[in-house]
Structure 1
Amino acid sequence: MFFIDTLETEGMGNRGYVCGGTETALVVDPPRDIDRVLAAAAVRGVRIAYVAETHVHNDAVSGGLELARVTGSRYLVPAEARVAFPRTPMADGDEVELEPDLKVRAVATPGHTPHHTSYVLADGGHDVAVFTGGSLLIGGVGRPDLVEPALTERLARAQHASAHRLADTLHDDVQVLPTHGFGSFCASSPPTDDAGTIGKERRNNEAFTLGADAFVSHLLAALDDVPAYYARVGALNAAGPAPVDLTAPPVADADGIAARLSAGEWVVDVRSRTLFSEGHVSGSFNVEAEGRPATYLAWLIPDGKPVTLLAASAAQLAAVQRELVRVGIDRPVAAATGDPGSWIRTGEMLRLLPRSDFAALAQARGRGEELVVLDVRRGSERADRHVEGSVHIPIHELHGRMADVPPGVVWVHCATGLRATIGASLLEAAGRDVVTLDDDLEAAESAGLMVAG
């Protein structure tokens, strides 16, 4: 008898797993906030005996080292991974026993990284599941370009070979349980489903439906921008992440917020973009809590820049703080919650951020108004279609390319409004007049604004 519990980290697009029997468990690719893992094991009434990493992660800081320390478990790490801490190296074919009839064996599956390793769970001698990390995903594979540009094509070919090795050695009904692929930038493509088996992937995944050359060409052509923080997170994981402190940060009052802004620090308002537009601290940036704040803030903020968080509630602040530690932003220097009127000094006013839609943009253009339309989507998104006459600067490049935005009132758009508000807040803090196009891109098509990429 075995169990497999999924630990989903939606903001990061990742999953970790707790699997085991009646007494002991193995944790695969645990999140950094290990209290979630300990709680899951407690519900099952099992002792965590092993913690396993499929690879040294780039997109999220691992909780594996700390979890192994706290639980006294063996820390299983691919043998060829270059890490600076003690661990149990796992080479191809190595096996550990959870319980007499429950075993886990390592399978070398290079591609996402050179050292990538998958783990097969066997119950009573029968393979039942494979934890594939960033190797074989649901409907795709992990991207091969996160290690070294010179290795990308070689690793893409390794991904194809690794997928076939799994399919050739495992039965069709074996569950495929990846870490990446549910919104993570480590995936080469969005998932086609929420669950998979070897048989389903064999029928639907391009790693099997395309030959090696065609697969590699298609995979390389589909690769998108790599978040800048991946290199920093990878280095943290290789060195061994420190324990995290999720207690509330020091409270920031109006004077403190003003002082931090004057010092050039980042003050980030994580309330919804609607609330931010209705009134915010001048100079603050908006990265809303419901919109993957860890990904976008980590991608945008310079390394080591102090960050102060402004949130609608203590619960919202705690949720964002938990997300940020997963990308190595360990401790906000200060925070404030509640009424934004308390975040400004006497005599100051909250700023408003104008919001509009694509129909109004079409009308403004029809009246001959001089304006700038700024598209902050990624290049792959713009390649399909774009607003005619728009300027393109991806959101992750905008902070360093303010001088490239032409003069005039800037109407900022993305695909839904989330990134547009991030971009508009950056521009407004730099002194530009802005309008957020808080609208779905399909409305731009209806307004006759779109042209083919």
Structure 2
Amino acid sequence: MAINIIPIETPTLGDRSYLATDGETAFVVDPQRDIDRMLDLAASRGVMIRHVFETHIHNDYVTGGLALARATGAAYHVNAEDPVRFEHSPVRDGDVIEIGPRMRVRVVATPGHTHTHLSYVLESGGETVAVFTGGSLLYGSTGRPDLLGPDHTDALAHAQYRTAQKLASDLPDGTEVYPTHGFGSFCSSTQSDASASTIGRERKINPVLTQDEREYVETLLAGLGAYPAYYAHMAPLNAEGPDAPDLSEPHRADAAELRRRLEAGEWVVDLRSRKAFAAGHLGGSFNFGLDGAFSTYLGWLIPWGTPVSLLAETPDEIAEAQRELVRIGIDRPASAVTGDLSTWTGGEPLHEVGLAGFAELGAVRHHRPVVVLDVRRDQEWEESHLPGAVHIPLHELLSRMEEVPDGEVWTHCASGYRAAIAGSFLSAAGRRVVVIDDDFANAGRSGLEVTG
């Protein structure tokens, strides 16, 4: 019977988890917090999950490994050197775990993304089938080595190089590569559009396998940018051993309660699209649409521990947002409201922001002065930007609001999502705002000067 490896994707965080099965027995690698997806997959396949493997103590999400192991009775394999505070099955480099009669997993130490990172080589019938590389060898890239702080970055970058070289030399070219990161996660040093790969393919295209060590390390370190602030909270939560999440319906608030929460400095988050938010919204609320990287940016920007209330048109949208938030350790919304705008505002006047494209920016600049606020990250700004624009990366905006000059503010990013978040911050602060809902590539096409 063939071995099947089925990914479960979490595109909003840029990660994958895996279930591998021989048709009867299964094991799981790096499960996300919402374990019901993995349980449903195993049930649909008619297989029992007997083992759960963790490649590393994750920095970009809260793991579901312990909860899944408890729910299924599976052995939970974590590096013996990781200082975790829960019952588990410790594993070390060179260990072999027999998983039924047709599968075995060999543990390989692959430091680089973290000091204690492990990869897992799947063997069946005497053949090497696949390697689960977590945050180590990715598609056309590697995991970033700077998440443990600057004191560790250089050593981990060199370790990452040696790790990848060892995997490439020890494993056959046909070995399928299954990373956890690299699909948009900030844990990856660069991103790739590939959806599958092998050791042989990586030998040809991955910089860690085509460059010498010095060139690889210098290039890697030069390309590292900012990463979400909530990452600092993930490893401690994972070391404690997270429980299964509570995804039950949150407390329902009325308009008066929402106003009290806003006045108390809590966050009230509007999950609608930027177009809907621009047309009318509750004054003081922030726009993090479910149509973008909602949890990544909310987790990045919110002062950790601030209560969050969610506004949406339907209960299903609230449930979707809850699922996204538990993956990054924001376990329970303080409250939620659904329905139309009148339910949220209690009859108060709606607030609005403008919505436009780069062509409109070019036209308006001929008639009146406006402040152009670029909220892209530093690397994006350095590649190209509009002369005269004020540059404040979105993740720094709340602490640098006083740097935004007086006047009407036109916010832009690469496509509109981050600009809308910035626009909602400014609107809540009483500023007149226009959000540029447009691709930055259209700036030059619209006749605006672009430099870089």
TM-score range, shorter chain: over 0.9
Q: Which residue of 1 aligns with 2:17?
A: 16
Q: Which residue of 1 aligns with 2:65?
A: 64
2:27 maps to a residue whose letter is: L
In 2: Cα distance, 1:366 partner to 1:328 partner: 47
Question: Is the Cα–Cα contact under 8 Å of residues 35 and 244 in structure 2 kept in the other structure?
Answer: no
Question: Is the Cα–Cα contact under 8 Å of residues 138 and 195 in structure 1 kept in the other structure?
Answer: yes
Report the CA distance between 1:308 and its aligned residue: 0.2
Q: How does 1:87-126 map to 2 (within 5 A)?
A: 87-126=88-127
Question: Is the Cα–Cα contact under 8 Å of residues 412 and 434 in structure 1 kept in the other structure?
Answer: yes
Q: Which residue of 2 aligns with 1:428?
A: 427
Q: Which residue of 1 aligns with 2:356?
A: 356
2:351 maps to a residue whose letter is: R
Q: How does 1:277-288 map to 2 (within 5 A)?
A: 277-288=278-289
Question: Is the Cα–Cα contact under 8 Å of residues 139 and 192 in structure 1 kept in the other structure?
Answer: no
Indicate the SS of the match to 1:69. helix
1:394 maps to a residue whose letter is: P
In 2: Cα distance, 1:442 partner to 1:201 partner: 31
Is structure 2 residue 414 aligned with structure 1 residue 415? Answer: yes
Report the CA distance between 1:259 and its aligned residue: 1.2
1:90 maps to a residue whose letter is: V
Question: Is the Cα–Cα contact under 8 Å of residues 183 and 193 in structure 2 kept in the other structure?
Answer: no
2:378 maps to a residue whose letter is: G
Give the % identical residues.
Answer: 53
Is structure 2 residue 369 aligned with structure 1 residue 370? Answer: yes
Report the CA distance between 1:406 and its aligned residue: 1.1
In 1: Cα distance, 2:312 partner to 2:67 partner: 29
Q: Which residue of 1 aligns with 2:440?
A: 441
Which string of whole-angstrom CA distances, capped at 9 and with x for unpartnered residues, describes residues 122-174 of structure 1? 01111100000000000100000001211111111111111111111111011
In 2: Cα distance, 1:296 partner to 1:449 partner: 28
How well do the aligned residues superpose, as a CA RMSD in angstroms?
Answer: 1.0
Question: Is the Cα–Cα contact under 8 Å of residues 101 and 125 in structure 1 kept in the other structure?
Answer: no
Report the CA distance between 1:448 and its aligned residue: 3.2
Tell me which stretches of 4 or more aligned residues in structure 1 moved more than 3 Å.
Answer: none
Q: Which residue of 2 aligns with 1:293?
A: 294
Q: How does 1:202-281 map to 2 (within 5 A)?
A: 202-281=203-282
Structure 1 unpaired stretches of 5+:
none
Q: Which residue of 2 aligns with 1:315?
A: 316
Question: Is the Cα–Cα contact under 8 Å of residues 115 and 156 in structure 2 kept in the other structure?
Answer: yes
In 2: Cα distance, 1:263 partner to 1:148 partner: 34
Which string of whole-angstrom CA distances, capped at 9 and with x for unpartnered residues, describes residues 173-199 of structure 1? 110000000000000001141110000
Which string of whole-angstrom CA distances, capped at 9 and with x for unpartnered residues, describes residues 206-251 of structure 1? 0111110000000001101021100111111111113211011111
Structure 2 unpaired stretches of 5+:
none
Report the CA distance between 1:378 and its aligned residue: 0.5
In 2: Cα distance, 1:412 partner to 1:130 partner: 44
1:416 maps to a residue whose letter is: S
2:326 maps to a residue whose letter is: V
Is structure 2 residue 153 aligned with structure 1 residue 148? Answer: no
Question: Is the Cα–Cα contact under 8 Å of residues 388 and 449 in structure 1 kept in the other structure?
Answer: no
2:54 maps to a residue whose letter is: E
Question: Is the Cα–Cα contact under 8 Å of residues 34 and 67 in structure 1 kept in the other structure?
Answer: yes
Is structure 2 residue 190 aligned with structure 1 residue 189? Answer: yes
Q: Which residue of 1 aligns with 2:79?
A: 78
In 1: Cα distance, 2:73 partner to 2:341 partner: 45
Question: Is the Cα–Cα contact under 8 Å of residues 277 and 353 in structure 1 kept in the other structure?
Answer: yes
In 1: Cα distance, 2:311 partner to 2:207 partner: 44
Query: Which is worse superposed, 279-288 or 254-263?
Result: 254-263
1:352 maps to a residue whose letter is: E
Question: Is the Cα–Cα contact under 8 Å of residues 105 and 120 in structure 1 kept in the other structure?
Answer: yes
In 2: Cα distance, 1:342 partner to 1:39 partner: 36
Question: Is the Cα–Cα contact under 8 Å of residues 443 and 450 in structure 2 kept in the other structure?
Answer: no
In 1: Cα distance, 2:43 partner to 2:279 partner: 44
Q: Which residue of 2 aligns with 1:302?
A: 303
